[in-house]
């Protein structure tokens, strides 16, 4: 039976899974950016850039309400901000791991409101659980999540919560890892399941987080099943765009309009 959400080793229920994920990411926050760039050979920067570019029409609207959830240390937020006009409504950058969020805020938050430069756009840090967002229903034009949705304790609940806070017709973008097929997939599997955890262990001095990564990707629904889950939780125009031979990909959808 396919996993319904992240299942870190030792977690017995959804609450335990969420707590384990929070503690894990807080523990690696100081070296998270370095590890991402090293382990992906900086290809992750291209993925964020491509995902942000996909939503340029919404980002160009200065009044659009936008949330980057599971924002981590803020690289996706920074990619989104490059497409925001001067003086636009700040992006909400949310995460429940305080160690990650505090580092992200140093990148995207900028100085206090009174000292901000008029020619720049900013984001506001929001400590929040993706499954219980402290936001009004039908209040957002766009939700983006980059490499964080896979870590939710319940994928269906996450999609339903995103649908709750999106306006009818509001857009969703989920950038996530996947497992490519063919010879590329076999070669990548060796790197992803053996080499990557070893490098992660050397750099961060911990075994668990980067052993968890390939397991979490293996447990995540493949694109066809993920798209079906999106369709059954309140979305339409669901699609998946593979990046870099399918190592990662961007899921896009719109919240169903109210008839």
Mean pLDDT of all residues belonging to the chain = 88
pLDDT at residue 114, rounded to an integer: 43
**Alpha carbon distances (Å) from 177 to 10, 75, 130, 197, 219:** 23, 16, 19, 15, 11
- Give, in degrees to the nearest 5, the angle at Cα 16 between 66 and 76: 25
**Alpha carbon distances (Å) from 166 to 80, 162, 172, 238:** 18, 6, 8, 15
Question: What is the phi/psi pair of residue 131, to 5°?
Answer: -85, -10
Question: Which residue is associated with the tokens 């000292």?
Answer: 115
pLDDT at residue 207, rounded to an integer: 65
Supply the DSSP symbol for 150: G
pLDDT at 255 over 90: yes
pLDDT at residue 7, rounded to an integer: 78
pLDDT at residue 108, rounded to an integer: 87
Confidence of residue 123 (pLDDT cuts 50, 70, 90): very high
pLDDT digits (tens, 9 = 90+) for 134-148: 999 999 999 999 999
What six digits make up the tokens of 157? 């609940």
Domains, in order of start, for the chain: 14-255 (3.40.50.150)
CB 80, CB 59: distance < 8 Å: yes
Rounded to an integer, the average pLDDT of 19-35 is 83
pLDDT at residue 115, rounded to an integer: 46
pLDDT at residue 147, rounded to an integer: 93
pLDDT at residue 117, rounded to an integer: 66
Question: Which residue is associated with the tokens 């050979």?
Answer: 41
Rounded to an integer, the average pLDDT of 112-135 is 80
What six digits make up the tokens of 11? 């977690």
pLDDT at residue 111, rounded to an integer: 52
Confidence of residue 257 (pLDDT cuts 50, 70, 90): confident
pLDDT at 87 over 70: yes
**Which residues are within 8 A (CB) of 5 and not within 5 positions of it... i.e. 6 or more apart?**
14, 17, 152, 153, 154, 155, 157, 158
* Segments of the chain assigned E as strands: 66-69, 91-95, 123-127, 140-146, 166-177, 235-243, 248-255
pLDDT at residue 21, rounded to an integer: 86
Question: Which one of 103-117, 149-163, 245-259 scores highest in mean pLDDT?
Answer: 149-163
Rounded to an integer, the average pLDDT of 211-235 is 91
pTM of the model: 0.91
pLDDT at residue 232, rounded to an integer: 96
pLDDT at residue 119, rounded to an integer: 64
pLDDT at residue 197, rounded to an integer: 77
Calpha distance 63→61 (Å, rounded): 5
190 vs 242, more confident: 242
Calpha distance 152→11 (Å, rounded): 13
pLDDT digits (tens, 9 = 90+) for 7-20: 777 777 888 888 88
Confidence of residue 218 (pLDDT cuts 50, 70, 90): confident
What is the three-class DSSP state of 40?
Answer: coil
Rounded to an integer, the average pLDDT of 221-243 is 96
């Amino acid at each position: 039976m396919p996993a319904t959400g992240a299942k870190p080793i030792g977690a017995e229920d959804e609450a335990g899974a969420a707590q384990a994920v929070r503690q894990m990411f807080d523990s690696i926050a100081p070296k998270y950016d370095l590890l991402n760039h090293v382990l992906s050979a900086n290809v992750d920067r291209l993925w964020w850039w491509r995902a942000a570019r996909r939503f340029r029409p919404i980002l160009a609207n200065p009044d659009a309400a936008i949330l980057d959830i599971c924002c981590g240390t803020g690289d996706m937020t920074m990619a989104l901000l490059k497409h925001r006009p001067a003086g636009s409504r700040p992006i909400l950058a949310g995460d429940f791991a305080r160690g990650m969020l505090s580092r992200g805020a140093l990148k995207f938050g900028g100085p206090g409101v009174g000292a901000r430069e008029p020619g720049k756009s900013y984001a506001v840090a929001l400590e929040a659980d993706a499954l219980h967002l402290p936001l009004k229903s039908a209040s957002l034009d766009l939700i983006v999540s980059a490499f964080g949705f896979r870590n939710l304790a319940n994928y269906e609940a996450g999609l339903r919560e995103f649908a709750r806070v999106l306006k009818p017709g509001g857009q969703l973008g989920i950038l996530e890892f996947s497992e490519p097929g063919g010879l590329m997939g076999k070669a990548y599997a060796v790197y992803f399941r053996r080499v990557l955890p070893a490098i992660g262990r050397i750099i961060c001095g911990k075994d668990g987080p980067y052993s968890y990564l390939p397991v979490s990707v293996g447990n995540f629904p493949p694109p066809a099943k993920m798209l079906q889950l999106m369709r059954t939780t309140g979305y339409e125009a669901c699609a998946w765009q593979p990046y870099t031979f399918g190592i990662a990909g961007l899921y896009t959808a719109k919240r169903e309009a109210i008839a």
